[in-house]
Amino acid sequence: MTRSDKMRLGLSTRGIGYHVAAWRHPDVMPGGAESLAFFAENARLAEAGRFDFLFLADGLGIRAHDNPPGSLAHSSENVELEPLTLLSALAALTTRVGLVATASTSYDQPFHVARRFASLDHISGGRAGWNVVTSWSEMEAVNFNREAHFEKGFRYDRASEFVDVVLGLWDSWGEGAFVHDKASGVFYDQAKLKTLHHRGEHFQVRGPLTVSRTPQGRPVIAHAGASEPGRQIGAAHADVYYVNEYDIEKARIFYADIKRRLPAHGRDPNDLKILPGIQVFTGRTAAEAREKFEYLQSLIDPVIGIAVLCNLLGDFSHVDPDGPVPDDIVLTLRTSNADKAIEMARAEKLTVRQLYQRVGGKAGIRQIVGTPEEVVRDMRTWFDAEACDGFNICPAFSPGNVRDFVELIVPELQTRKLFRAEYEGTTLRENLGLPPVKRRA
């Protein structure tokens, strides 16, 4: 199979938006993260923009830290709807857009996950996808009878077996197993039932699944593991791969690394779509785009800005936001991102406020600010360089920032034949250009 000349687009929705100031924007419904009407509007926009799918990131607890104390009360990252419940409702309000949700292999059970996503695939007519995560926060562990998060090796070991069991359960029933023959009285064809009988290190699951083979054969699998064990699971099973990367060269290396692993799993490199996250601010002129960006940046609450720095770097709780980054600041968190941020602050003589505006607003996502032509030129450069197969759009705030993308960027991509004008199929798998799945022997 040759690489498609069309980009794939996902709309990643996390609460009311990815920008820390999203909820303070005058056009944003601050309680939108718990509103069906709010998500329905996002889904409507995603479908009008012919997005491949809507994606709900998820965590099993409040993962943000109350550091310094009191800052969490200024954050919108406190409430969110359970994703499968929400996507089931959105399935009834949409017809084409894919519906992808996150479920954790560390704090869930394979039978539950297999059943929920297979159900969503039936309800949506073949538009379901599961984002496989191992969870990363100890704030999730404490909600599941534990004091500490599982260690990474264990997590990925369990995840690998978890995915295998889910795939096995999804293969419980063959195509057309339910003959429903009223004359003979046969409800299902016994020859098309395969009971899993899984006994492994982490799970014992007899099966079969109580949901028949789904419209897509099985739901689509998404994944974002960046570590070696994460990449192994992704290369073996993922149909969609998320990544957050700012640097095109690093993205190309990641892309090549994941794609080269696929043949060992009997897969064509084009059977997996790698979609880096981007956050776009656009307008009819460059000045308008910049104004929208600067305006949102100006809404960052200093309490949240300082909290971002405390959680990313170390103790910034007593510094003056409009003073320079102190030379003697104690960096308790020496990650490569922390070192880069401090180097940047020193080189550009940033104030504390300027530093948190630079690193705080974007939540780790690459931002592009410009006219539709400029944004599409940037996206095309990444696509042509084989740094990606498309993008995971992570709106700064919804729905205004999504509407801008759909009204200004999508037509520009379509004019340049870089994106579909119409959905090609009815299932998510068909629209992503993925081959039909075979039932495992």
Ligand X SMILES: Cc1cc2nc3c(=O)[nH]c(=O)nc-3n(C[C@H](O)[C@H](O)[C@H](O)COP(=O)(O)O)c2cc1C
**Residues forming the site for ligand X (CB under 6 A):** 57-59, 102, 131, 133-136, 224-227, 230, 242-244, 277, 392
Q: How far apart are CA 17 and CA 408, in angstroms?
A: 19
Paired tokens of 410: 């999508």
Q: How far apart are CA 121 and CA 41, in angstroms?
A: 21
Decide whether 13 or 354 has the Cβ nearer to ligand X. 13
Q: How far is the CB of 13 from ligand X (least distance, A)?
A: 11
Q: How far is the CB of 436 from ligand X (least distance, A)?
A: 27
Cβ within 8 Å of residue 161, ≥6 positions away: 200, 201, 202, 203
| CB atoms closer than 10 angstroms to residue 109 | 14
Decide whether 302 or 364 has the Cβ nearer to ligand X. 364
Q: How far is the CB of 243 from ligand X (least distance, A)?
A: 6
Decide whether 108 or 430 has the Cβ nearer to ligand X. 108
Q: How far is the CB of 28 from ligand X (least distance, A)?
A: 21
Decide whether 57 or 388 has the Cβ nearer to ligand X. 57
Q: How far apart are CA 104 and CA 141, in angstroms?
A: 11
Q: How far is the CB of 61 from ligand X (least distance, A)?
A: 10
Q: How far apart are CA 155 and CA 162, in angstroms?
A: 10
Decide whether 118 or 224 has the Cβ nearer to ligand X. 224
Q: How far is the CB of 231 from ligand X (least distance, A)?
A: 7
Neighbouring-strand partners of residue 130: 101, 221
Q: How far is the CB of 360 from ligand X (least distance, A)?
A: 18
Decide whether 64 or 299 has the Cβ nearer to ligand X. 64
Q: How far is the CB of 82 from ligand X (least distance, A)?
A: 13
Phi, psi of 9 (to 5 degrees): -130, 130
Paired tokens of 421: 């004008």
Cis peptide before 411 (omega within 30 of 0): no
Q: How far apart are CA 312 and CA 11, in angstroms?
A: 26
Decide whether 147 or 228 has the Cβ nearer to ligand X. 228
CB-based closest residue to ligand X: 230
Decide whether 225 or 433 has the Cβ nearer to ligand X. 225
Cα→Cα distances 157→50, 113, 165, 233, 380, Å:
37, 17, 13, 10, 37
